[in-house]
Amino acid sequence: MSPEKKKPAKKPRPPRQKMPEQAPEERAKNFLEVPYGYTPEIAETEASRCLQCRKPACVQGCPVAVDIPGFIRRVAEGDYLGAARVIKSTNSLPAVCGRVCPQEEQCEQLCVLARKGESVAVGRLERFAADYEREHGDGSVPEKAPPSGKRVAVVGSGPAGLTCAGDLVKLGHEVTVFEALHKAGGVLVYGIPEFRLPKAIVQAEVDYLKSLGVKVELNRPIGRSETIDELLEGDFDAVFVGTGAGLPYFLGIDGENLNGVYSANEYLTRSNLMKAYLFPEYETPIIKARRVAVIGGGNVAMDAARTALRLGAEKVSVVYRRSREEMPARNEEIHHAEEEGIDFQLLTNPTRILGDGNGWVQGMECLRMQLGEPDDSGRRRPVPIEGSEFVMDVDVVVVAIGNGPNPLIPQTTRGLDTSKWGNINADEQSGQTSKPGVFAGGDVVTGAATVILAMGAGRRSAAAIDEYLGRPLEDGTSGAGSSQEPPADGRS
């Protein structure tokens, strides 16, 4: 069948558009963001690929239910600010999500185009619209509901807290976010590196929330500076706890307290939050090593490995006890790391860290593994290969095997139930805890997960808190039950 016979002639669908990015050999030496982002031309071409499905599957895959076809249509039409407005009506942190959401497991996975080819690049378009709005927008803010006279304290300024705060302030409540560190953003500022998420972008998103009326109190370690009970006895009618998974796990192997062994949290905090990569201009040091081993296979491990490379290490190895297939990191992150020359020691398990006799790391003994039967997580269990011990020559080891919940709030709050791992027990939908007026969401409830899942939890809790504060939704449904619905601006 020749194309001439087709009526009307259909333009072939362009391929999924790539994002221009820094060359691997170049970017491995700097902390600048890796991708440059779409140009308007590329964005419109990509947006034109969207089928504008009447029942869009992609939206089902978004934890905060962004109107994906709606914003993509506006990009295709050249109305970039309109696109940003659509996103911002349900997502307070679009520039962040466009960069760090695992779209390939969410919206993009469900895209109809993905069935026969490549999905629409929803994340890249979201990033484009958000960046365009930040650079060219007039700073206008959405309409807010009339003041409710209610006050809500949000503990923690990470993705869950910021999302919850943004939604609550739009609903007319007075919101104060308490952050223990000296900068707002939680994991977005201390954890995710500059080259993946520029800190100026996080600050801009925080400033946007402030422009909506959210108060941000830095240097307030709730639990110590004041307790949740004191917040409730004082100014606040409800509290949302989004304190994240901030307590690093170690392996419990010999040599872990040697100098040169870092938790990924410490390594990344020094580099990102304290800007140790600019030492001595910035006063916080970080050990610059020749050879670095990063233990773990998640996004945090990729971030730590790529940071080590940029700090000048000659060789950086990711040491992971399962195979590449089981690595929890996003494909894109693994791919970027590989491109930059990170060495992957897969099916390898550290058994002890060796010292030089003066308290410093000199090497790491590992065992090779093979995959056995599936374990509780459904992944094949790694089993040691006997006699396969070998020593890696390294001078810094970064442990990136996960984090537990921060203990400050559970330790200091009366009547707040936790799991045996210390996670706060909260209703999956509403985030309601065992303590009246206290809601929780994000990693402190679920254990370490993703930015967007924490945002989804913050969002659902905002709706539940709104209901708790005595403002039933117009449609008569409960706030908790209607969490998939965007909070329409201006509802009373």
Partner 1 sequence: MAKVVCRKEIAPDTVLLEVESPRIANKRKPGQFVILKKDEKGERIPLTIAKSNAVEGTISVIFQVVGAGTRGLAEVAAGGEIQDVVGPLGKPTEIRKVGTVAAIGGGIGTAVAYPIAEAMKAAGNRVIGITGARSRELLILEDEFEAVCDELIVCTDDGTCGRKGFVTEALQEVIDRGEEVHEALAIGPVPMMRAVCQVTRAAGIPTVVSLNPIMVDGTGMCGGCRVEVGGATKFACVDGPEFDGHAVNWDVLISRQAAYKSYERRGDDCNLLKAGEEQA
Nearest distance from C-beta of residue 219 to partner 1, angstroms: 4
Tell me the closest approach of the beta carbon of residue 119 to partner 1, in angstroms.
36
Cβ partners under 8 Å of residue 244, min gap 6: 156, 158, 160, 186, 187, 405, 406, 442, 443, 444, 454
Length of the chain, please? Answer: 492
Of the pair 352, 491, the CB lying nearest partner 1 is at 352
Residue 426 Cβ vs partner 1, minimum distance, rounded to whole Å: 20
Give the C-alpha separation, 200 to 412, whole Å: 34
In the complex, minimum distance from the CB of residue 158 to partner 1, in angstroms, rounded to a whole number:
11
Least separation in angstroms between residue 451's CB and partner 1 is 17
The DSSP bridge partners found for residue 154 are: 177, 240
Q: Which is nearer to partner 1, 35 or 161 (CB)?
A: 161
The minimum distance between CB 8 and partner 1, in angstroms, equals 60
**3-state secondary structure (DSSP) of residue 473:** coil
Residue with Cβ nearer partner 1 (58 or 180): 180
- Strand 380-384 with 396-399, pairing: unpaired
Q: Tell me the two tokens of residue 330.
A: 């996003």
What separation in angstroms does the CA of 353 have from each of 63, 225, 315? 40, 38, 18
Q: Token pair of 327, please?
A: 């690595």
Instruction: Tell me whether residue 344 or residue 360 sits nearer to partner 1 (CB atom).
Output: 360
Measured from the CB atom, the residue of 117 and 285 that comes closer to partner 1 is 285
Q: What angle do CA 201, 488, 102 make, to 5 degrees?
A: 40
**Measured from the CB of residue 406, what is the shortest distance to partner 1 in angstroms?**
6
Nearest CA to 252 out of 242, 239, 261, 241 is that of: 261
Q: Which of 91, 58, 62 is nearest to 73 (CA)?
A: 58
Instruction: Please report the beta strands in 390-455, taking only residues with DSSP state E, as ranges in sequence order.
Output: 390-392, 396-399, 403-404, 438-440
Residue 56 or residue 246: which is nearer to partner 1 going by CB? 246
Query: Among residues 24 and 447, whose Cβ is nearest to partner 1?
Result: 447
**Whole-number minimum distance, CB 271 to partner 1, in Å?**
11
Residue 122 is given by DSSP the state: H
Residue ranges binding partner 1 (CB under 8 A): 180-182, 190, 218-221, 224-226, 246-248, 250, 256-260, 262-263, 265-266, 269-270, 274-275, 279-285, 287, 358-359, 406-408
Q: H or E stretch including 215? A: strand 215-217
Minimum distance, C-beta of residue 353 to partner 1, in the bound complex (Å): 13
Of 137 and 407, which CB lies nearer to partner 1 in the complex structure? Answer: 407
- Tell me whether the omega of the peptide bond preceding residue 63 falls within 30 degrees of 0, making it cis: no
Q: How many CA atoms lie within 13 A of 107 on its CB side?
A: 26
Amino acid symbol at 471: R
- Closer of 190 and 439 to partner 1 (Cβ): 190
